[in-house]
Amino acid sequence: MTRRVPVAGGDICASYREDRAGGPVFVKELDGAPAGFFAAEARGLDRLRVDGGPPVPAVVEVTDRSLALEWVDTGPPRSAAAARFGAALAHLHAAPEDRFGGPGFAATVPLDARSSDDWATFFARARLLPLVRSARDDGSLSAAGAAAVEAVCDRLGELVPAEPPARLHGDLWSGNLLWGADGRVWLVDAAAAHAGHRETDLALLALFGAPHLDRLEAAYAEVAPLAEGWRERQGIHQLHPLLLHAVLFGGGYGAAVERQAAHYL
């Protein structure tokens, strides 16, 4: 009989360490998962596997309600690991992409699969505006907040410097960084992986905080410097996760969206 032990790390899913004949694996399960949910995560993990990029657990098995991954022993967050990760993230972002966009999921919310040659068009039409409509319709975002985000969408091309498409994790908050006992930082939960603006991943790390973020950012900049003013633009990229939280959880997230958008008008 396969031995299973509940572990942390599944976020919205139940998660386990499962001891199999070939060794332990990490298994996450979600009853009633949206169609294609775990397949999207497996595709995202494979998409992030690039030479010189952060390590990504191997996909062992995918079903409609579960995903099994290579087991990674964890350790404490360390400054040196953060610096190595920052450099590796810059290499990931440099992986070639043809167009902005890509299908996937943010939590259990399907991401608009439309792509574009222009980042501002993609980010407005495929990321921000669909969530604005949902949040306004369910009452978690005021009419004034919706209008503020729509006004930012109209100005994205002038607010954010144009860059070629970068290969992104897409949901890079600190909970999706796995600090390995091997001294490396692994990427997990990649269902939102897509081609976007590289400032987006860094803005997501800053939104909820990450261990040794200053070392991570400095190491990233040594490999691939960001355009001047990137810190001041982080709030633009953070509108997407804040809108997602407004749709999923309500509360004060709608007001946070309104304040954030108004800052750029």
Mind spelling out the 3-state secondary structure of 130-186? Answer: HHHHHHHHCCCCCHHHHHHHHHHHHHHHHHCCCCCCEEECCCCCHHHEEEECCCCEE
Residue 171 annotated in active site: yes
Query: Is residue 213 within 8 Å of residue 201, measured between CB atoms?
Result: no
Query: Is residue 111 within 8 Å of residue 216, measured between CB atoms?
Result: no
β-strand pairing of 177-179 with 166-168: unpaired
Q: Give the separation between CA 178 and CA 139, rounded to whole angstroms.
A: 35
- Gyration radius (Cα) of the chain, Å: 18
Q: Is 141 left (phi over 0), alpha (psi -120 to 50) or beta?
A: beta
- Choosing from 19, 171, 182, 201, which is the catalytic residue? 171
Q: Is the four-CA dihedral 253, 110, 146, 168 of positive or negative sign?
A: positive
The residues carrying an active-site annotation are 171
